[in-house]
Amino acid sequence: MKSITVHKKKCLKGEFYPPGDKSISHRTIMLGSIADGKTHLTNFCSGEDTLRTVQAFQSLGIKIERNGTEHTVWGKGLNGLQEPQNIIDAGNSGTTVRLITGLLSGQNFFSAITGDASLRSRPMKRITDPMRAMGAKIDGRGDGNFVPLSIRGGALSPIQYQLPVASAQVKSAILLGGLYADGITEITEPVPSRDHTERMLSSMGATIEREKTTVRIKGSPHLKPFSFRIPGDISSAAFLIVGAILLPGSHIVIRKVGVNLLRTGILEILKQMGANIEVINPEEECGELTADVVVKSSSLKGVNITGDIIPRTIDEIPVVAVAAAHAEGTTIIRNAKELRVKETDRIAAVVKGLKKFGVKVEELSDGMAITGQKELKGASVFSYGDHRIAMAFIIAGLTASEETTVVDTEPIETSFPQFMESLDSLLE
């Protein structure tokens, strides 16, 4: 089991370009595959999770040419996918299995999908129930609640669906199924979640309507191919942003990072805590906004993090918790129960790790309460097979008084393989 040991560092200085956004990278492959023609992508996320999506669509008969972070997808149109000869393996990628289930539900053939031990424990009925309601025949462990799943799709009907919990993955799966339904499919969320799928489909020519927390899609569109430089991943950049805030004398610039308003909850929270963050040079491409983010070291104060901002920050909560461990006062995180069904139970994992760093932290049913302190003590902590937990604890280790070892760091490869290289390039 791979481990990484770090020591207290002075500061972070310089600039870097984060890897391509993982959520967007998944979607560009999927939507490029059902577009009418050739899609060209640059700055594609090169993590293991996105590779699983590439391999999945290659198994569905799509030609995908890869050259580093440059990818070309030869789309075959809405009905051009072919029945796979083998079971699709999503590895550890929840995005792959959940979104592709929506697409496969619209195909007039049989398919099956599985994943690794972690993915096999993650709930899927939130996807399979609405897809069954649209007419797909889906079976799997626990009455379709766990992979492996078998899917026989085709002849879908539009639905009106109320999401019990805001989830971009569930919303996207239903939207992708809605492409194959004769009529208008409607999804309503309790609060808005990330909207990359809607933005991309709209830029490709699909009929998308948004009204407050409801989104509607009309079936059977002709989807245009596209060329796209994928924005830098703010979820990956978040670790270096927090590192720069916590290490005195730091000053970094993150270039061309995605600043979609439904993904920038991390910046809003850190600013509320007192962080010195400036967003400059905004640009837009394929409906997605990018900008440069300037970060300087700052003193933080505890805040309450709850409500609508949680879905916009859900992947960044582990590193927000590290920032809170250094903030004056107590930070309370609520309404984040979704963290319990990620790659691991992130609430429990963060609480256990912070306690080892000597932090006073209380586990709540849907979050945690963290009392900040001036300095952490070095520790040996476990990632529980979760890439974001591993990276968050490495950042914590840079601020700790003694040596820190993070155990089981191999999962970092799923989203940010260049994490340590990027971090080392900025450390002084």
Tell me: the pLDDT tens digits for 54-72? 999 999 999 999 999 999 9
| Residue 8: count of CB within 10 angstroms of its CB | 16
Is residue 315 part of the annotated active site? The answer reads: yes
**In which element (H, E) is residue 281 found?**
strand 276-285
Q: What is the pTM of this model?
A: 0.93
Residue 325 CB partners (closer than 8 Å, separation 6+): 354, 357, 359, 361, 370, 372, 373, 376, 396
Residue 198 CB partners (closer than 8 Å, separation 6+): 175, 208, 210, 215
Cα–Cα distances in Å, from 110 out to 41, 60, 88, 140, 171?
29, 11, 11, 13, 23
DSSP for 73-92? EE---TT-----SS-EE-TT
Domains and CATH numbers, the chain: 3-20+231-426 (3.65.10.10), 22-229 (3.65.10.10)
Compute the distance between CA of residue 309 and CA of residue 336 in angstroms, rounded to an integer: 10
Q: Which residues of 36-61 are buried (b: 16+ CB within 10 A; e: fewer)?
A: eeebbbebbbbbbbbbbbbbbbbbbe
Q: What size, in residues, is the chain?
A: 428
pLDDT of 73 higher than 90: yes
Catalytic residue among 49, 315, 386, 408: 315
Residue 242 or residue 1, greater confidence: 242
Helix intervals (H) in 308-372: 317-324, 346-356
Model confidence at 286, in pLDDT bands (50, 70, 90)?
A: confident
- Residue 89 tokens, joined: 């393996």
Nearest to 364 by CA among 321, 404, 407: 321
Query: Looking at residues 367-394, what average pLDDT do you find?
Result: 96
Model confidence at 285, in pLDDT bands (50, 70, 90)?
A: confident
Residue 358 CB partners (closer than 8 Å, separation 6+): 373, 376, 377, 379
- Residue 405 tokens, joined: 């070892």
Compute the distance between CA of residue 199 and CA of residue 316 in angstroms, rounded to an integer: 22
93-146 tens-digit pLDDT: 999 999 999 999 999 999 999 999 999 999 999 999 999 999 999 999 999 999
**In which element (H, E) is residue 247 found?**
none
